[in-house]
Structure 1
Amino acid sequence: MRVLVHVNNGVAKAPRIGRKAFLAVALAGIASIATAQTVPDQRVPDTGLNLPANFQFFGKTDPNIRKPTAIVNSAVITGTDVDQRVNMIIGVNNLNLKPEERDQLRMTVLRQLIDEALQIQEAKANEITVDPKEIDSGFNRVARNFQKSPEQMRAWLKEVGASERSLRRQVESDLAWNRLLRRRININVGEAEVKAMLERMEQSKGSEELHVYEIYQNATPDRAQEVYANMQRMITQMREGTPFDYLAKTYSEASTKAVGGDLGWIRPSMLPEELATAAAGMSAGQVAGPIQLPTGFSILYLAEKRKVLMADARDAKLSLRQVSISFPKGLTQAQATARAGEFATATQAIKGCGDVAKVAQAQGAEVVDRDGIAVRDLPPALQNMILPLQVGQVSAPFGSVDEGVRVLVLCGRDDPTAVNLPSVEQVQAKLEDERVNLRAQRMLRDLRRDALIEYR
């Protein structure tokens, strides 16, 4: 379920309890991403509140400093509940958080637990309950996705300071909320609408398409300053090496958080104008934000670009032969450079893959063969170096003093086939998901507005 109002083009379906919903997968190169600046300066965006230029505080100056516990319509969320969920997130993602980052995570988890309580309560008010056996099945499914038995999963949760109860509560809220959505929301997408979308896709063949990830947070005028500052801290964490998808799963208020903020492949015109403008100036691997939207703020990560319905050269499957040498310990930089130069001269003279064995033997090099490697599975720098090569050609030498120097010889390439239009069923499901997500966001927003929440 993706409950992000301003993004109506994602393909994520209702979240299923599983490893993908809990396990962060570090995005390659995120620690060294360049930041595409889309905010001209560090001023807080206009909130429309007509705030005075000079003022003083009366009473508590930081209402966010509170113990992370709450009573939600009589349901109690304890400090232990918060700590156990925090520990589970840290354990799953193998994080080493600073004290201030842990405090921020605790407040985010509290908001998530409040939402879960509201979802379960609303489901029960509509006579929807989740049988304990179903929760057992959900818990066991998560354990299998982590390649653990239920007993091993319980032991692991205890080891990291979490609990089975915390995970079971998350399973229950997901099951209850999705059932409530299916009961309340009836979306019908007509054949004419599906046909029109397929025609638009065909007309856009060859235009640019982006693979985008997003962190979105809603910001009412009274919270704009707080949310903007939080997102600036997230960008700082990314620069320090925190994976984008961990931050999305932890802090995003879009349901794409379940898949690390992944919006899938989309055309810029399908994004809100503010996000489309930011994405237009980005290169693959860049992050932009915080970007102000009518309903809040977003951070974008652009993973890749491609042409709509056109085969992507990076999907080609390669047969590669790697030739490598290592340097003995104690070799000086000058000696290593000289040896690498000799190796480069010899390998650049290779005449096709059949000539590799002879050159390798003369250089005392090791040869490794690999077939079926997709270009996109190589590091970005190697992708750019391999793509122009013809069969039989050799890459430039690369490596280091510690790990040795190597070259790649291209022995074969299977180019990708043409990309087909999605099926009618796929397009219909996508349109239905968009509308369900919009309705779900509104439902949860109304529940928050009407709830009685007492913080302690």
Structure 2
Amino acid sequence: MPIATLKRLVLSLAVPFAMVLSGSVHAQQVEGIAAIVNDQPITTYEVRDRMRFILSTSGIEPNEEVLVQVREQALRSLIEETLQLQTAAEFEVPVTDEEVDEAIADNVARNGMTVAEFQRELESTGASIDTIRQQLRAEIAWSYLVSGRYRNRIRVSDAQIENALERLAESASQTQYRVAEIMVTLPASGAESDAEQRIMAIYGALEQGAPFPAVAQQMSDAPSAAAGGDAGWLSAAQLRPQVAQVVQQMPVGSISNPIRVPGGYMIVALADRRDGQVTEQFTLQQVTLVSSQVTPERRSALERSAADVQGCADVRGAFARVPEAIITDLGTVGANALVPQIRTALSGLESGQASSVLETAAGLQVFILCDRSIGGPGMPGANEIENQIVNQQLSLLARRWLRDLRNDATVEMVGEL
């Protein structure tokens, strides 16, 4: 919205400010058109209803400056939802009332409420449950559209999964930060002052005690908004450099000042910090020739068997020429549980290979590496990694599609509140 329009809006907020807070003015008395999206109107009543919903669910204390930003957010959301629902209608993607009801019930249950309690709370602020019904109907339709259009086109290779696991293991061995984020992106016009006004209004609301997750859910442009801004456990290497520099200095439980990043502004909250807990894991079999049984001939036989071994399927057969040898299945052992001598012997091995003969306190030993993996608290498996990659790509494609719809649409801003 142009700066001049914002100024006019501030000047015109005396009556709308009261209406947004109390909802005391009947809709028909103030009905008008706020915008037209491909010939479909968005009414001023719908904008006010969404504003009340944002204020009631985010905990933001309203003032004239905040209301300007909340109106911007409400109108932007309604325009995007209208485009999503128009596209769903074009592709004949239906969303039933039962699906919307179920989504509402799931949402309110996560907050420990019933639908009736939630509806009463909304009505006490002057908001209508119809606004969240539209929001969820658009979300459900959009998820169907994006999945139907792109899901079968996304292919995730084994190499991508392995690379992702390696990067994750590397970062997970470093200090990790549980971060929540709010992102305000620069508008298509590139007017940085608009984004700056939005982020400062959001920061002001947080300073006044508005809950970070609720504000993120309603006001953030990041994909994490749906999760209340929760970006999960991340290492400094996984954060934007500008954010990492700040997060590393933050005490747990604090919220940052607005941070300028490429493409916009961010505010981050540091929920927790932990040391890296991921270690390399070895699945091993052990062959031991105890000291009392060692002879030059048996040492040579042990060395030949170690050189000839091919995998863990028949270790006993591979070492049959050393009948005095004791075969032990060690299972999976963390690298940090092994003495340095054994870790060094295993470091260059491929799965199925045996170490050289080691002289240990037990006698002569050979270790056969059956498998090597990365493990530790929170480490996902290959299937989880694949789903993460797919969801990341779907999210990126969804944002691009919505941007294209917005650029191709005819959107006319008609009036104010």
Is residue 92 of structure 1 aligned with residue 50 of structure 2?
no
- Offset from partner CA, 1:209-240 (integer Å, 9 cap, x none): 11111111221463212212321232233223
Aligned to 2:85: 120
State which of 364, 387, 391 in structure 2 corresponds to 1:433.
Answer: 391
Residues 75/226 of structure 1: CA separation in 2 closer, same or farther (3 Å cut): same
Amino acid at match of 2:162: K
Corresponding residue SS for 2:217? helix
Aligned to 1:166: 131
Aligned to 2:155: 188
Contact 1:309 1:421 (C-alpha < 8 Å) held by counterparts: no
Aligned to 2:102: 137
Residues 114/207 of structure 1: CA separation in 2 closer, same or farther (3 Å cut): same
Residues 255/420 of structure 1: CA separation in 2 closer, same or farther (3 Å cut): closer
Q: How does 1:295-310 map to 2 (within 5 A)?
A: 295-309=263-277
- Offset from partner CA, 1:399-437 (integer Å, 9 cap, x none): xxxxxxxxxxxxxxxxxx962632112211111121111
Amino acid at match of 1:79: T
Tell me how far apart the structure 1 counterparts of residues 166 and 263 of structure 2 sit (CA, whole Å). 31
Tell me how far apart the structure 1 counterparts of residues 158 and 380 of structure 2 sit (CA, whole Å). 14
Amino acid at match of 1:257: A
Contact 1:309 1:420 (C-alpha < 8 Å) held by counterparts: no
Tell me how far apart the structure 2 counterparts of residues 154 and 88 of structure 1 sit (CA, whole Å). 11
State which of 231, 234, 237 in structure 2 corresponds to 1:266.
Answer: 234
Deviates more, 1:83-92 or 1:172-181: 83-92
What TM-score, normalized by structure 2, do the two folds share?
Answer: 0.63
State which of 222, 226, 235 in structure 1 corresponds to 2:194.
Answer: 226
Amino acid at match of 1:188: R
Q: How does 1:9-408 map to 2 (within 5 A)?
A: 62-64=4-6, 65-66=8-9, 69-142=34-107, 144-145=109-110, 150-186=115-151, 187-204=154-171, 206-219=173-186, 220=188, 222-309=190-277
Residues 197/94 of structure 1: CA separation in 2 closer, same or farther (3 Å cut): closer
Q: CA RMSD in A?
A: 2.7
Looking at secondary structure, tell me which structure has more helix per residue: 2
What TM-score, normalized by structure 1, do the two folds share?
Answer: 0.58
How far off is 1:259 after superposition? 1.8
- Offset from partner CA, 1:104-128 (integer Å, 9 cap, x none): 2122111111111111112222221
Consecutive unaligned residues in structure 2, runs of 5 or more = 13-32, 280-374
Corresponding residue SS for 2:4? coil
Corresponding residue SS for 1:215? strand
Structure showing greater relative contact order (alpha-carbon pairs closer than 8 Å, 6 or more residues apart): 1
Amino acid at match of 1:169: Q
Contact 2:171 2:237 (C-alpha < 8 Å) held by counterparts: no
Residues 143/205 of structure 1: CA separation in 2 closer, same or farther (3 Å cut): closer
Aligned to 1:315: none
Aligned to 2:335: none
Contact 1:250 1:257 (C-alpha < 8 Å) held by counterparts: yes
Aligned to 1:419: 377
Residues 300/82 of structure 1: CA separation in 2 closer, same or farther (3 Å cut): same
Tell me how far apart the structure 1 counterparts of residues 210 and 134 of structure 2 sit (CA, whole Å). 27
Contact 1:208 1:305 (C-alpha < 8 Å) held by counterparts: yes
How far off is 1:252 after superposition? 0.8
Contact 2:61 2:208 (C-alpha < 8 Å) held by counterparts: no
Tell me how far apart the structure 2 counterparts of residues 145 and 297 of structure 1 sit (CA, whole Å). 29
Amino acid at match of 2:160: E
Consecutive unaligned residues in structure 1, runs of 5 or more = 1-59, 312-416
Higher-Rg structure is 2
Residues 281/140 of structure 1: CA separation in 2 closer, same or farther (3 Å cut): closer
Tell me how far apart the structure 1 counterparts of residues 44 and 146 of structure 2 sit (CA, whole Å). 30
Contact 1:105 1:250 (C-alpha < 8 Å) held by counterparts: no
Identity %: 28
Tell me how far apart the structure 1 counterparts of residues 165 and 139 of structure 2 sit (CA, whole Å). 32
Contact 1:120 1:176 (C-alpha < 8 Å) held by counterparts: yes
State which of 428, 445, 450 in structure 1 corresponds to 2:403.
Answer: 445
Deviates more, 1:258-267 or 1:241-250: 241-250
